[in-house]
Structure 1
Amino acid sequence: MKNKITTIGNLTIDDIVLCDTAEIYLASIGGNALFSAIGARIWDAAPLIVSRIGKSFPIEFKQQVKVLGINTALIPMACNDIRNWALYEPGGARQFVNHMTSGSHYDMSITAAELPKECWDADGIHVAPMPTDVQYDVLKAIRQLKNKGTVVSWDPHEYYLSQPDFNKMAYEMLEMVDLFLPSKEEVTAMCGNRDIYTCIKEFASRGPTVVAVKMSTDGSIVYDKSSGDFYHVPIINSITKDPTGAGDAYCGGFLNAFIESGDAVLAACSATVSSSYIVEEIGAINKLKADFSTRNFRYERIRYNVKKY
């Protein structure tokens, strides 16, 4: 039976610039809610995207993803969509720059009051990066209304964590989730340049059963609170064409696999497979249409190379 996964976050319109290959791809649909849904869909989950959309969002999107196994619950807004320049510099550095006419994160981040009834019928709910106070209200609503047994994962937004009030709020949010899935940059934003392993243990002590930190090409660090063990899960070598959404896909793959196994390391292996497929295609729809037939082979390769600390 397919796991029902709800992903709550943003949808965006991305203009992708790949400096290494001098390629430009305009008006590519993206966003953390979509990529986390794809990460789960790679493993045959039944995802539901919950998001706001603006007045210029393509009307064909809903049907495009539906035929590929992803449902949507979209709230239309009378404002501009988030539109980014996704700039990938030589050597792998990247930055996202909003268009001058882009809607803001607050414009396009769904509120707790807007969460539709469809999202509660889920085995797992993932809250993707949005403004911290928006995430706080969403997670509070999830905590009150979710079904017993629903697994909740959370990925914060680095930009907002630098604000003291939001940083304090983020620590309170750790009490509301089962899985905390930040990037290394988000860990630094939350606790400065302290030892990352100390920070991870502190996060887990606040509530989450598992903390998995995404380390880009260095793989991920996974902490299982029940055993007190750390693991390093490596990436799998892929031909990278467009890394947009790889971290979000990791989250979707992780949540789906954790629901099935309850094992943090196996979940991270599945999550890493999801990320490996994402980087190999340009644009979210193309990523979703890719051939995932090698997923079990990739999974076993990653699992074989996991290291326990």
Structure 2
Amino acid sequence: MFDVSCIGILVADVIAKPVDKIPDKGLLNLISGISLHSGGCAMSAAVDMSILGIKAAILGKVGNDSFGEFLKSVLESNNVDTDGLCVDKKTQTSASVVLSDSQGERTFLHCTGANGTFSKDDINWDVIEKSKVVFVAGTFLMDTFDGAHCASVLKRCKQMGKTTVLDTAWDSKGRWMDVLEQCMPYIDYFLPSIEEAMALSQKQIPEEIAKEFFDKGVSKVAIKLGSKGCYLQDGKNKKPVIVPPYKVQAVDTTGAGDSFCAGFITALVKGMSFTECGYFANAVGAHCVSALGATTGIKPMDDILAFMEAKK
């Protein structure tokens, strides 16, 4: 049995740091380090949740290449179940070059790769059946899964009695609600960033944004506000709560949003209240940005709780 199945993208991240200026064409700048890390919304969240102490499985697709082998080895070394991981022999593993500046902010160059061929036909329903929560991570980056395929999978998960959670990525194609609206009636917990939430709703104020999502069928909303914490609303007619962030020195913000989702879902599985989930998610996010890489800074749940207690 699994606490959560993570459906979504896996990415090999090649991180260059610090990159405060892009050299002109034909020129070279020296930097202090280039390293290979696991990334992608579903992968990072699954690894984070396993480190935090709950049982996670992943459903996604990689290529038949060294990046794919690397990602699978990271998952297995972190005790994430890979029975739902497909290998596409015709497409390379998704990869990003991440340019991280001195402040930890990132710029990406991304190859969609195998994530772009993942579809509902690749879903291992035996894995879903064994899970309490189903988390879709990386919407807008899975061309053959987003939209109708995602909606049908979420609908079936709801019919199976699973709790559904969804997080989005930035939609560089600008489709937004045209893709996601059909999924919303089947989302129990919606966890977008404020930037994504504004683009989806065409609203600027969190209360108005959340109302838009509730009107389209979402049950509960948690909007990531970055350095301002998170906005929580436990239903359309419920009073919203702003949960403040934990102040830490940011080293690298890679995977921050995914770690928030991992923390939120872990707290949910452990029976915490909706507001407590927000606080715990913020604390996990704070640990994430304190180290280089998407999952490096994550610690077991007891350590996160001790950090939260010390910050009171």
Query: Quick check: TM above 0.5?
Result: yes
Match of 2:228 among 203, 218, 241: 218
Q: Distance in 2 between matches of 1:301 and 1:210?
A: 29
Partner of 2:290: 280
SS at match of 1:294: helix
Q: Does 1:95 align with 2:107?
A: yes
Partner of 1:114: 122
Partner of 1:48: 57
CA contact (8 A) 1:236 1:298 kept: no
User: Deviation of residue 202 (structure 1)?
Assistant: 2.0
Partner of 2:28: none
CA contact (8 A) 1:35 1:248 kept: yes
- Report the CA distance shift for 1:220/1:268 in structure 2 as closer, same or farther (over 3 A): same
SS at match of 1:113: helix
Which aligned pairs between 1:241-252 and structure 2 lie closer than 5 A?
Answer: 241-252=251-262
- Report the CA distance shift for 1:205/1:184 in structure 2 as closer, same or farther (over 3 A): same
Partner of 2:238: 228
User: Deviation of residue 242 (structure 1)?
Assistant: 2.2
Which aligned pairs between 1:153-168 and structure 2 lie closer than 5 A?
Answer: 153-159=165-171, 162-163=174-175, 166-168=176-178
User: Deviation of residue 104 (structure 1)?
Assistant: 6.8
In the alignment, residue 48 of structure 2 is paired with which amino acid? G
Partner of 1:179: 189
Q: Distance in 2 between matches of 1:189 and 1:181?
A: 14
CA contact (8 A) 1:38 1:249 kept: no
Between the two proteins, what is the percent identity of the paired residues?
Answer: 21
Q: Does 1:83 align with 2:95?
A: yes
- Consecutive unaligned residues of structure 1, counting only runs of 5 or more, are 305-309
User: Deviation of residue 130 (structure 1)?
Assistant: 3.2
- Report the CA distance shift for 1:23/1:146 in structure 2 as closer, same or farther (over 3 A): farther
Q: Distance in 2 between matches of 1:180 and 1:263?
A: 16
Q: Does 1:298 align with 2:307?
A: yes
Let me know the Cα RMSD of the aligned residues: 2.7
Segment drifting more, 20-29 vs 30-39? 20-29
Partner of 2:23: none
User: Deviation of residue 223 (structure 1)?
Assistant: 1.0
- Report the CA distance shift for 1:129/1:65 in structure 2 as closer, same or farther (over 3 A): closer
1:75-98 Cα deviation digits (max 9, x unpaired)? 111211222121223545432112
Q: Distance in 2 between matches of 1:161 and 1:184?
A: 18
Q: How many residues align?
A: 295
CA contact (8 A) 1:39 1:271 kept: no
Q: Distance in 2 between matches of 1:160 and 1:175?
A: 24
CA contact (8 A) 1:50 1:74 kept: yes
Which aligned pairs between 1:25-64 and structure 2 lie closer than 5 A?
Answer: 25-56=34-65, 57-64=67-74
User: Deviation of residue 284 (structure 1)?
Assistant: 4.5
- Report the CA distance shift for 1:292/1:256 in structure 2 as closer, same or farther (over 3 A): closer
User: Deviation of residue 248 (structure 1)?
Assistant: 0.9
CA contact (8 A) 1:35 1:246 kept: no
In the alignment, residue 77 of structure 1 is paired with which amino acid? D
In the alignment, residue 46 of structure 1 is paired with which amino acid? K
SS at match of 1:207: coil
- Report the CA distance shift for 1:293/1:18 in structure 2 as closer, same or farther (over 3 A): farther
SS at match of 1:138: helix
SS at match of 2:46: helix
User: Deviation of residue 105 (structure 1)?
Assistant: 4.6
SS at match of 1:182: coil
CA contact (8 A) 1:39 1:250 kept: no
Q: Distance in 1 between matches of 2:113 and 2:132?
A: 32
Q: Distance in 2 between matches of 1:299 and 1:207?
A: 33
User: Deviation of residue 291 (structure 1)?
Assistant: 6.1
User: Deviation of residue 20 (structure 1)?
Assistant: 6.8
Q: Distance in 2 between matches of 1:25 and 1:269?
A: 33
- Report the CA distance shift for 1:92/1:68 in structure 2 as closer, same or farther (over 3 A): closer
SS at match of 1:49: strand
Q: Distance in 2 between matches of 1:209 and 1:111?
A: 25
In the alignment, residue 187 of structure 1 is paired with which amino acid? A
SS at match of 2:34: strand
CA contact (8 A) 1:161 1:167 kept: no
CA contact (8 A) 1:241 1:280 kept: yes
